[in-house]
Amino acid sequence: MNDLERVIEAWDQADPAAIHPSRGVSEAAYRESGQAQAELLATILPAGCRVVDFGCGDGRVAVPLRALGYDVVGADSSDKMLTRLRKSDAKIETVQSNGIDLAGELGRKVDAVVCLAVLIHHSYASATEIIAGLRAAVRVNGLLVLDWPVSDDPVEGSTWISVTTWTRALQDDVCRQVGLKRVDSDLPWPVFRAVKAGG
């Protein structure tokens, strides 16, 4: 079993009560955190655009994004998580994907992809593959919001629950390879515009 498969299996087996720190406070705090993050995303996503929440879990951010008027697709590697999402919002479109195959699973390009609290759980190699897959799903000039932390002392996590951090230079190299250009924003996560690879 490779790193990507290990993370996916662990996520699929995760206790719903343990999938986000705010759930330790209360279910209301968990839902409020998703609403707050959706509202932040709405400051940069074009109104009503087609956006994929990759690694959507049970819809903490996807459901409030849809309520804000976005055409949301909830994408996750775990069918169990997608089933929980559909219980929260039966009308939301869902697709099962490991990220690498997202473009093929969607069948057409989208305006934006949001990926929060996913890349931090993957090795450099797996995260690079996922980012390339997410980029392939987005039209040129579309946006990607990636929870992709930089550190002066980067570390590659050793378990699915540990956090992988990157150097800015390594991120910039991945961006050149797959076709991403960093965008200035006030969001707590890096924002990228989809461009032609190698540019």
Per residue in 39-84, pLDDT tens? 999 999 999 999 999 999 899 999 999 999 999 999 999 898 899 8
Residue 99 falls in which region: left (phi positive, over 0), alpha (psi -120 to 50) or beta: left
Q: Any residues with CB less than 8 A from the CB of 108 and at least 6 apart, and which? A: none
pTM of the model: 0.89
Q: Any residues with CB less than 8 A from the CB of 113 and at least 6 apart, and which? A: 51, 52, 54, 102, 134, 137, 138, 142, 143, 144, 145
pLDDT band for position 22 (cuts 50, 70, 90): low
pLDDT > 90 fraction of the chain, expressed in percent and rounded: 71
Q: Does residue 17 have a pLDDT over 90?
A: no
- Which of 89-103, 111-125, 159-173, 181-195 has the lowest average pLDDT? 159-173
